[in-house]
Amino acid sequence: MADLTGSSAVHATMPIHHYTGLAGQSYDQPAQAGVLLVNLGTPNAPTARALRPYLAEFLGDPRVIEYPRWRWWLILHGVILRIRPARSAHAYARVWTTEGSPLRVGSEKLAAALQARLKQVAAGPIRVALAMRYGEPSVRKQIEQLQREGVRQLLVLPLYPQYSGTSTGSVIDAVADAFKQLRWPPELRIINDYHDDAGHIEALAQSIERWWTEHGRGDKLLLSFHGIPQRYVAAGDPYLHQCQTTTRLLRERLGLNETQLVMSFQSRVGREPWLQPYTDETVKQLARQGVKRLDVACPGFAVDCLETLEEIAMQNAEFFTEAGGEALRYIPALNDGDEQVASLAALILRHTQGWPECSASKAL
């Protein structure tokens, strides 16, 4: 048999791994289920100083920017992080509230509402926690906290209805990195996407219809999704197809045709081609074509954030009126509304079947 202890010289050079665990825990306690919601993240304040580390983490993620690391590092730290933090801080300041970041506050409210909903409909207790892919609270810290609370079965739900390697794929990376540090990782399930989930489509449709009832219906409905580079899709990313599927299903549910409901992609950066048509060019073109009232919804965002409140409701609203339109009217994200809470609760219960807390449920 091989000597597993080895020589003292070998021991002196071998790295010692420290794994997070729970010493002295009771193994007789029943396993508890947990759900980890994950959203993109946000800086701690609308300032250049707070934006710099946040952007460094976000734009330094190889899932987000697929570019030779050494070359991108030089661009990121030599150019972008010297210029962009101040510009982004100005944009964040336009939407920052007394409670803080809209994305952080909205995500926390959604997590709390979902916790309350699951308490009503699940067969047993399910712990709901919220993490941010970039910034705080981190995925790693939240998974470690759930472990300390006795969670042995974990469902991860990235708050991205449509899968992309730049978003959900990055969350999976973060979860994997966190699990590598655990002495006894919990059983794991991950929801890759819910772009065509019937409950989600119904929630989107009801939200739009309710908004139309309160504010009247515009001349056209535009669905604006976050963009990604075209080469990511060419390399196999399913994001474009899933955005098209969401658009088709919502169009069918609302009873609209392809001229009444159109789609576009926002938030492009850099010079390479991104998914088209671009939102900013689309709203200008529609205004020039005679559209006076344009309704815009963003089905790729579970919670309102910088990209919806500032980029769409402010920037693109200005583009639209400058091009001759009368009003671009942004329809809010689902946020912590009853429709989204109910649809996500049902989604969670389907994906956790077989776990004691979720194998049976009360009436939804």
Other C-beta atoms closer than 10 Å to the C-beta of 73 total 12
Between the CA of residue 310 and those of 44, 88, 255, 265, 315, what are the distances in Å? 17, 11, 29, 15, 6
CA 336/CA 331 separation, integer angstroms: 14
Structure tokens belonging to residue 168: 């959900």
Q: Is the sign of the CA dihedral 134, 246, 91, 97 positive or negative?
A: negative
Residue listed under structure tokens 């207790």: 125
CB 174 within 8 A of CB 139: yes
Between the CA of residue 48 and those of 39, 55, 356, what are the distances in Å? 22, 10, 47
Question: Which one-letter amino acid corresponds to residue 165?
Answer: G
187 is in an annotated binding site: no
CA 50/CA 170 separation, integer angstroms: 22
307 is in an annotated binding site: yes
CB 120 within 8 A of CB 346: no
Q: What is the DSSP string of 279-301?
A: HHHHHHHHHHTT--EEEEE-TT-
As a 3-state breakdown, the chain gives helix, strand, coil percent values, each rounded to 5, of 45, 15, 35
CA 67/CA 354 separation, integer angstroms: 42
Annotated binding site: 226, 307
Annotated binding site for Fe(2+): 226, 307
